[in-house]
Structure 1
């Protein structure tokens, strides 16, 4: 038997270490120091040879750095690094990790105002995710999760009608997959919340399309799942519960159930205040999006003071 040894380029270790250090600093409320760590990691990437080495660990390190840069409000740097990560994964022909990287690239391009390029990347991500979900049983759960997230995100910033059918399809397949895993007593700790997150995305998409009764049903199922999980591990699952409650409040308001919507929104607000306290001043892109959506729900409910409180709690990066 021949054994081959592949050594990861030192740059990958440096970038990963600086990225993780920067994230810890940000979560400790030291955003300035976090930005300095990200700056050093970005400098390592900038001086690398082109094309960057086709190494999986390096691709993962660059993906993490892109996320940190985006969370720190460095959108141009986030786009540059994410493009490099996608380039590496293409040359490695790693479809399982290429698909979510393409989804991230789509988000970065959209944030840069390049809508056509963002749609092209998203379309490729969806095609790749479908292929992975259909051919690789081992990677199916992760692929379906990313498929749901990608399609739900498409529905958030493009025409929701373009994404709805695919979102429903992905959620239905994921629902069946998790049900099979439950029956076999093999469902992992990540698959239940992934399904609930997918249902949250579906609810938001349905609400934007005016299919509010179906949206309430999907969001309510997401809330039940996240609430059960949060009872055991609140620190891990409360953010997902807050997101699901926000989606439920939006759909209930659209359905005319204003008292129920206000109750769900207020519970979501209290959860958001709780899980952001340990890291004042540092919010991930996802957290800011969640808080922005919750503030909009309060505005729609005529609760301007509550909306302003949420916006004050979520400073821009």
Structure 2
């Protein structure tokens, strides 16, 4: 990471995007390894850089900003800052929604992933019906793209797994069972696990 920082210091405009990408990826890996105290500052720094870059060129950098926000939101929640995490992932959802309005095929699958993440955080804060709405929207998006983009099967599975839990928690066991049956009958194949 120090090499990346030195390069950025020597030519800020040229290397800032690379540093933000590196920090975002590092934050994601650290969070997956359970190293939240380390993941949080590097991911926050990545978001800061992407915000700065997106001001100058939204078309080029808003997708990266939304991706980093989608990483940061759950990290904040896992670090005990659930409200901030929900707000952060909500911002990612709104960016993906705006980008998808201009280019459905490219950005709608990312919107579905962000909606599923937001559903998890909404459920954690007790908003089960809001969370269920997000999983239903994510499901609809994925089903819309499944023929042309088979890789959306993994995000569809993620949305439906969360949806089944929510339905159970809302006392709708029969619907939850139907969702689980569909998941069992339609497993994610290798190569479609983005």
Q: Where on the TM-score scale, by shorter chain, does this alignment land: which range?
A: 0.7 to 0.9
Paired with 2:117 and 2:47, the residues of 1 have a C-alpha distance of 16
Matched, 1:206 2:167: yes
Shift of 1:174: 2.3
- 2:149 is paired with a residue whose SS is coil
Shift of 1:163: 1.8
TM-score between the two structures when normalised by the length of structure 1: 0.50
Matched, 1:154 2:121: yes
Partner of 1:304: none
TM-score between the two structures when normalised by the length of structure 2: 0.78
Aligned residues: 183
Paired with 1:100 and 1:216, the residues of 2 have a C-alpha distance of 32
Shift of 1:100: 2.8
What are structure 1's unaligned runs of at least 5 residues? 1-40, 241-317
Paired with 2:27 and 2:72, the residues of 1 have a C-alpha distance of 9
1:113-124 → structure 2 map (5 Å cutoff): 113-124=80-91
Q: Which has the higher helix share?
A: 2
Partner of 2:145: 177
Query: Does structure 2 retain, via aligned residues, the 8 Å contact 1:152–1:205?
Result: no
Cα distance per residue 1:181-209 (max 9 Å; x no partner)? x2xxx334x12222222222222222222
1:58-137 → structure 2 map (5 Å cutoff): 58-93=19-54, 94-137=61-104
Query: Does structure 2 retain, via aligned residues, the 8 Å contact 1:69–1:75?
Result: yes
Cα distance per residue 1:95-135 (max 9 Å; x no partner)? 22322321221111112222332222122122222222222
1:147-296 → structure 2 map (5 Å cutoff): 147-159=114-126, 160-178=128-146, 182=147, 186-188=148-150, 190-226=151-187, 229=189, 233=190
The CA RMSD measured in Å over matched residues stands at 2.8
Cα distance per residue 1:50-95 (max 9 Å; x no partner)? xx76733322211111122223332121000101111122222222
Paired with 1:44 and 1:75, the residues of 2 have a C-alpha distance of 23
Shift of 1:166: 2.4
Query: Does structure 2 retain, via aligned residues, the 8 Å contact 1:141–1:191?
Result: no
Paired with 1:157 and 1:45, the residues of 2 have a C-alpha distance of 36
Cα distance 1:224–1:113, how it changes in 2: closer, same or farther (>3 A)?
A: same
What are structure 2's unaligned runs of at least 5 residues? 55-60
Over alpha carbons, which structure has the higher Rg? 1
